[in-house]
Amino acid sequence: MSQPEPAPAPRTASYEADPAEVGRVLLLYSGGLDTSVMLKWIQERYGAEVVALSVDLGQPGEDWDVVRDKARRLGAVECHVVDAREQFAREFVLPAIKANAVYGGGYPLFTALGRPLIARLAVEQARASGCDTIAHGCTGKGNDQVRIEATVATLAPELRLLAPVRDWRMGREEEIAYAREHGIAIKGGSEVAPYSIDDNLWGRSSEGRWIEALDQPPQDDVFGLVTPPQDAPDEPQDVAVTFERGVPVALDGQRLGLVELLERAAELGARHGVGIVDHVEDRIVGLKVRDIYEVPAAAILLSAHQELERLVCTIHQNQFKPGLDRQWAYLVYAGLWWEPLRDDLDAYMDRVNQQVTGTVNVRLYKGSTRVVARESPNAIYDPELATFGESGGLFSQHAAPGFIELWSLQSRMAHRLRAERRDGDAG
């Protein structure tokens, strides 16, 4: 069987590769069907050499030796696996925690945070290996192509990009046929189309199959990380999360490195079924698409962080920051990690987080997380003042009526004016 001829795709962006000038390609290789077919296809179609790069961001259960061997067998001239977990946790997840980063009311951005790092590592490896082009496995319908290509075009204007899935016009059937013809092993067999999965140490997403039917409730076989809540332990468990200047540093009093802490939190949350998010999302390319997310670590750490931040901030900071948090999440979701505004916002996030020190206890129980206790040396809280009893001293209840009179002055005047006008119109 001959491979389908790719349509002569017109180049619309300056960074897209010119087929005549593809010499050596850095391929972002996952070991899955698309990028395995791609590894062969690029060699055949362009007569180019392929350098494979796989990036470990803490995808649970991935065997990187198997991935590396597969790339080698498919003809890659170099096969690199980079353990980027520490970088990912420090430079990407940590700022997200400080920004309480959630997009669209439920998505903690694990994929969106991973892509700019993956693309930056691709740029570094492409330069080191003398590649002229970077290839990736994204489709033309998703956000990931935006994140990867925006990153490469920003950091390495001299490199060109290739996104074969966007224009090779192979469906799954044709890809499987191509794989068979070229002796490419298909992980998990070829009978049922699998969910489309992406994961790292901050979460896991599933797309496709019944998930595309918005009226279908989640089937339990989608969960690869989190225990279905009905099967979670009958006893609740409290976990104490300690932060220093916005950085989570300990769980239940035990100090842990960031990667280990994120992994421990994910395990705890997964055991109790927490962090399942059924999310219909506004993609940056215009589509609405549904994802099933499993984000056990984020469910625990974001709620703990947010609670502590609110405790140490004033009412004015607490009114202001969520708007910046939302802007931060939107920029990152939208693939603009390198936008200077994100840097500007981070300066604010860091500044506020200087105060975010203390411990929050989160109760995990059959799919729910609930903050049950908090303490901080920086809490803007005084039990003496907050109590219902007469406190005197700093807080005088006798001052309250005067405050209320002035505080409500403009609202009362406006209300009266509107009422008079309405009565005048009616009369």
CB of 378 to ligand ARG, least distance (A): 34
Instruction: Count CA atoms closer than 13 A to 156's CA, side-chain side.
Output: 24
Task: Examine the residue annotation and report whether 24 is marked as an active-site residue of this protein.
Answer: no
Minimum gap (Å) between residue 96 Cβ and ligand ARG: 13
- Shorter beta-carbon distance to ligand ARG: residue 144 or 175: 144
Closest CB to ligand ARG among residues 202, 365? 202
User: Residue 286 CB, nearest distance to ligand ARG (Å)?
Assistant: 13
Nearest CB to ligand ARG, comparing residues 78 and 144: 144
What's the one-letter identity of residue 389?
Answer: G
Q: Which of 127, 129, 132, 196 is catalytic?
A: 196
**Quick check: is 34 catalytic?**
yes
144's tokens: 């990931």
Tokens of 288: 């609405």
Which residues is 83 bridged to in the sheet? 56
Minimum CB distance to ligand ARG smaller for 35 or for 111: 111
Sheet holding 160-162, edge to edge: 78-83, 49-56, 24-28, 133-135, 160-162
Told to judge if 252 belongs to the known catalytic residues of this protein, a careful annotator would answer no
CA–CA gap between residue 235 and residue 365 (Å, rounded): 7
C-alpha to C-alpha distance for 115 and 133, rounded to whole angstroms = 17
C-beta of 275: minimal distance to ligand ARG in Å?
15
- Half-sphere exposure in the Cβ direction for 297 (13 Å, CA): 27
Binding footprint of ligand ARG on the chain (CB under 6 A): 111-112, 142-144, 196, 198, 205, 207, 281, 291
> Which residue, 94 or 113, has its beta carbon nearer to ligand ARG?
113
**Side chain identity, residue 352:** V
115 counts as catalytic = yes
Which of 144, 198, 199, 325 does the annotation list as catalytic? Answer: 144
Catalytic residue from among 68, 85, 115, 374:
115
d(CA 270, CA 273): 5
Report, in Å, the least distance between residue 198 CB and ligand ARG.
4
Select 105 or 383, whichever has its Cβ closest to ligand ARG. 105
Contacts 24+ apart (CB under 8 A), 82-87: 82/53, 82/54, 82/55, 82/56, 82/121, 82/125, 83/56, 84/55, 84/56, 84/57, 84/117, 84/118, 84/121, 85/56, 85/57, 85/58, 85/201, 85/259, 86/258, 86/259, 87/117
CB of 139 to ligand ARG, least distance (A): 8
Choice between 78 and 281, CB closer to ligand ARG: 281
Q: Who contacts 393 (Cβ-Cβ below 8 Å, separation ≥6)?
A: 384
For 334, phi then psi, to 5°, come to: -80, 5
Shortest distance in whole angstroms from residue 55 CB to ligand ARG: 13
**Pick 213 or 426: Cβ nearer ligand ARG:** 213
* Three-state DSSP class for residue 108: coil
**Token representation of residue 7:** 């349509």
The Cα 372–Cα 148 span in angstroms is 40
- The distance of closest approach from Cβ of residue 38 to ligand ARG in the complex, given in angstroms and rounded to an integer, is 14
Q: CA 270: distance to chain centroid?
A: 17
Strand order across the 203-207 sheet? 196-200, 203-207, 288-294, 276-282
Active site residue ranges: 34, 115, 144, 196
